[in-house]
Amino acid sequence: MKYIGKMCVSCGKKFTDADDIVVCPECASPHHRECYRNNGRCANENLHAKGFDWNQINRPVKTETAQQDDGQVVINLSESVEDMLKQPFFAKSMKTVDKNGCTLKEILDFVHTNLLYYIPVFMRIRDFGKSVSFNLICFVAPPVYFASRKMWFWAILTAFLSVLLLIPFMLAMLVSGDNPANLSVDAINALRVNVSTINSLIEICRGADLFMRIMLCLFGNRLYYNFAVKSIKRIKAKNNEDISREQLISAGGVSFTNIILIICIIFIVTFLIMLALQATLEFLF
């Protein structure tokens, strides 16, 4: 039975073969039947609205390795992430408070999802000071990544930069075909006279966009680590250093609503800039 040796989310005691176990139908959190009956509800009910799933944190994973400065250490990941973090390799970092006043456990509770990726990355940042790592999503769609992780400053900043770097391409689109933008003849002629300049700007902006994506790909995880630490410190300050795992999970994790919002923002900003370009060209010419 997969719950044997796991902890009841209500009383914190580990399950044995003799225990009568019930599982929350909403989030799959396991309880002693007696605990569930006494509470009258799931111990994690306050997390249901956030999409909490007990199985996501306690899912089985494969065997991998982790790299230390003094050599390669093989880590047994055949059990759950929760059990993996109890191994000696991780135990010290999980409990040790760093210079920012956070433990690795607090940071991982805040991250909440995709822990197998973030555990070695954040340990290299925290314990070995290595800021460079590889984040493919930060290269492909930086605003989407930052918004999904609730990093709204970086999400808005990268979204606006991405759209602004498309302005030369928008200018080229305005004069492509049979006057699709319904610009005046003078405005179209002015753009076509400067088409070589526009094409040069397109290439420059493409290079700038590629450079931005590469830098975010390499340092995006560091930005997320810093964001997690600052968020945890802010929560602690509000609660006089008293912080629960549920608070961290609620404040961090992934928000799919934010992904939809940032996509809508990008489309709206792009549309407004196109309108502004048309109005500006009509005014000038």
User: Mind listing the pLDDT tens digit of every residue in the chain (285 residues)?
Assistant: 577 878 888 888 888 888 888 888 888 888 898 888 888 888 888 777 767 777 766 665 444 444 444 444 444 434 455 665 665 556 666 666 667 778 888 888 899 888 878 888 888 888 778 889 999 999 999 999 999 999 999 999 999 999 999 999 988 887 775 555 566 777 777 777 888 888 899 999 999 999 999 999 999 999 999 999 999 988 888 877 677 878 888 888 899 999 999 999 999 999 999 889 888 877 777
In this predicted structure, what is the pLDDT of residue 247? Answer: 84
Residue type, 101: G
Q: How many residues belong to the chain?
A: 285
CA–CA separation, 90 and 276 (whole Å):
54
User: How many CB atoms lie under 10 A from the CB of residue 198?
Assistant: 18
In this predicted structure, what is the pLDDT of residue 270? Answer: 93
In this predicted structure, what is the pLDDT of residue 96? Answer: 67
CA–CA separation, 33 and 44 (whole Å):
15
Q: Per-domain residue ranges for the chain?
A: 1-58, 64-128, 136-284
In this predicted structure, what is the pLDDT of residue 67? Answer: 46
Of 213, 217, 224, 216, nearest to 125 (Cα)?
224
For the chain, the straight-line distance linking the first and the last C-alpha, in angstroms and rounded, comes to 76
In this predicted structure, what is the pLDDT of residue 214? Answer: 96
pTM of the model: 0.68
CA–CA separation, 174 and 142 (whole Å):
27
DSSP H/E element including 64: strand 64-68
In this predicted structure, what is the pLDDT of residue 73? Answer: 41
In this predicted structure, what is the pLDDT of residue 180? Answer: 54
Domain 1-58 architecture:
2-Layer Sandwich (3.30)
In this predicted structure, what is the pLDDT of residue 91? Answer: 61
Residue 111 DSSP class: H
In this predicted structure, what is the pLDDT of residue 69? Answer: 45
Q: Which residue has the tokens 């599982």?
A: 23
Compute the Cα dihedral for 120, 209, 178, 264 and give only its sign.
Answer: positive
Contact call for residues 107 and 229 (beta carbons, < 8 A): yes
